Amino acid sequence: MPRRIRILLIGANSLLNVTLAESLRVLGFEVIPENPNSKKIEVEDGIETPDVGILNVENANADSCFHLGHELRAKFPNIGLLFLSSVRDQRLLGLSHELAPPNSILLIKSEINDLAELRSVLIDAAHNRVRKGDDHHFSTKQLKLRSELTNNQVELLREISMGFSNKEIANSREVSVNAIENSISRLAKKLKISQSESLNQRVSLAAFFHSADRL
């Protein structure tokens, strides 16, 4: 009888991962929770090397999440890596230069239709069957291919969503307020967000950012 695939779940104490752990066990995987008392990736003595590591990529932990991914690959060279995220274009989380480890997988949470799909992806990851060009292949080198927004437009969208005024954005970029207003107009046009008396364009852009899994 073949052994069960071992999944290392990073941040196992979060509500999402507690629920995910139970689902993975139902699917027949062996779940190895991350040691919550350690500042480094550790697997307890006596537990064999994990086959797949699952990491959550969100605004608050994006940079550290990628760092952990590289740490996992350094410790377990053959481990498959699955990143879960709410957004399709990871630049919206402030990432632009950090690279995901080769042949990682990105799954958008809202696009996971059923547990059978998740099981299939995890099996592919465990057997290193994910390659560049596959549907779920992920590298931040490819970020600008995930939406039509430029890096400057992504950053502008993030700044608007964080509540920065046009003047504050202009000062940080050392350009005129008029230049920022024109950039916002072009961004809104690209995202098909119109200006009207009843609809504040900046509010609409911020709302778009927070539902940016559409990108």
| pLDDT at residue 139, rounded to an integer | 65
Domains of the chain in sequence order: 6-145 (3.40.50.2300), 151-214 (1.10.10.10)
pTM here is 0.72
> Quick one: which of 143, 152, 142 has its CA closest to 187?
152
Element (H, E) at 62: helix 62-75
| pLDDT at residue 47, rounded to an integer | 60
| pLDDT at residue 190, rounded to an integer | 87
Which neighbouring-strand residues pair with 32?
Answer: 8
* 215 residues of the chain, pLDDT tens digit each: 678 899 998 865 677 778 888 999 999 999 987 655 555 556 555 567 899 999 888 766 677 788 888 888 888 899 999 988 887 777 777 765 567 788 888 888 887 888 888 899 899 899 888 766 666 777 655 555 566 788 889 889 888 988 899 999 999 999 999 999 999 999 988 888 877 666 688 888 888 776 655 55
Element (H, E) at 84: strand 80-85
